[in-house]
Structure 1
Amino acid sequence: MIMTNLETVPGKTITAHYGLVQGSTIRAKHVGRDIMAGFKNIFGGELTGYTELLKESRDESMQRMQEQAHEMGANAVINIRFSTSSVAQGAAEILCYGTAVRVQ
């Protein structure tokens, strides 16, 4: 599956358009990560626990979007974007969306 944030796939021709596909996940903060983040806020530095949490969330939401595109018959997803929103105290949704197409 070709995945790109471009509006086309260079060197390929779009032969079918399947429409919007999306994948999302909602993640809550972890108490252990919060404690370490509190120390980092005092002393400075990267919040690696949260960096890892967000990477895992992006990967999972992209995988879900890719599975939806595959089920529609697409072999590529173009114009991919990410969005995030707070859904509850300490929990956020990561949304990945794009346009499912078939290219040759």
Structure 2
Amino acid sequence: MLVTTTEQVAGRPITATLGAVTGSVVWSKHIGRDIMAGFKTLVGGEIRGYTEMLVEARGVATGRMVEQAQSIGADAVVCTRFATSAVMQGMSEVIAFGTAVKLG
């Protein structure tokens, strides 16, 4: 399954638009990541535990979006976007969404 952020797929015409597809996950960090993040706020810099958490969550959300696209017979998902929000302290929701299409 091709997943792209562009509106078109180079060299492949879109023959049908099947509709919006989404995938989401609410992901939490474990207490070790939370403690280390607290220490990191004292000195600044990247909080790798949170970065890893969001990368993992994005992968799950994308996988769920692709599963939904496959279930309706799509060849690709175009115009893919991601949104992230804090559900509560230590938990983030990641949503992947795009348009499922058939390619020629």
Q: Same fold (TM over 0.5)?
A: yes
Partner of 2:24: 24
Q: What percentage of aligned pairs have identical amino acids? A: 52
Unaligned residue ranges in structure 1 (runs of 5+): none
Partner of 1:7: 7
SS in 2 for 1:36: helix
Partner of 2:57: 57
RMSD of aligned residue pairs (Cα, Å): 1.0
Q: Does residue 97 of structure 2 align to residue 94 of structure 1?
A: no
SS in 2 for 1:32: helix
Partner of 1:41: 41
TM-score by length of 2: 0.94
- Distance in 2 (alpha carbons) for counterparts of 1:8 and 1:87: 33
Shift of 1:43: 1.8
- Distance in 1 (alpha carbons) for counterparts of 2:89 and 2:44: 24
- Distance in 2 (alpha carbons) for counterparts of 1:88 and 1:55: 18
TM-score by length of 1: 0.94
Unaligned residue ranges in structure 2 (runs of 5+): none
Q: Does residue 74 of structure 2 align to residue 74 of structure 1?
A: yes
Amino acid at match of 1:3: V
Aligned length: 104
> Alpha-carbon deviations, 1:20-50, whole Å to 9, x = none?
0000000123211011111111122211111
SS in 1 for 2:35: helix
Q: Indicate if the aligned counterparts of 2:28 and 2:53 stay in contact, CA closer than 8 A.
A: no
- Distance in 1 (alpha carbons) for counterparts of 2:89 and 2:35: 16
